[in-house]
Amino acid sequence: MGGQYLRQLLVVGMASLVRQTRSHPNRASKWLTALLERKPARVAAVAMAN
């Protein structure tokens, strides 16, 4: 499971990646953009952090 602090850092890092993807979609991975089309941003960030 890992520590709570580590999980929190992973989610924050992935949320940052989601924001970067939204501002520069041409640089993002195709997988991430497809995931963001299907799911809300917070759900996608937590899924990637896991």
pLDDT of residue 1 exceeding 70 = no
Q: What global pTM score does this model have?
A: 0.78
Q: Classify the C-alpha dihedral 14-17-22-25 as positive or negative.
A: negative
Question: H-type helices in the chain, by residue range?
Answer: 4-23, 30-38, 41-49
Q: Please tell me the predicted confidence (pLDDT) of residue 28.
A: 85
Taking only the tens place, the pLDDT of each residue in 6-42 is: 989 999 999 999 999 988 988 888 888 899 999 999 9
Q: Please tell me the predicted confidence (pLDDT) of residue 14.
A: 93
Task: Specify whether the CB–CB gap between 9 and 1 falls below 8 A.
Answer: no
Provide the 3-class DSSP secondary structure of residue 29.
Answer: coil
Number of Cβ atoms within 10 Å of the Cβ of 18: 20
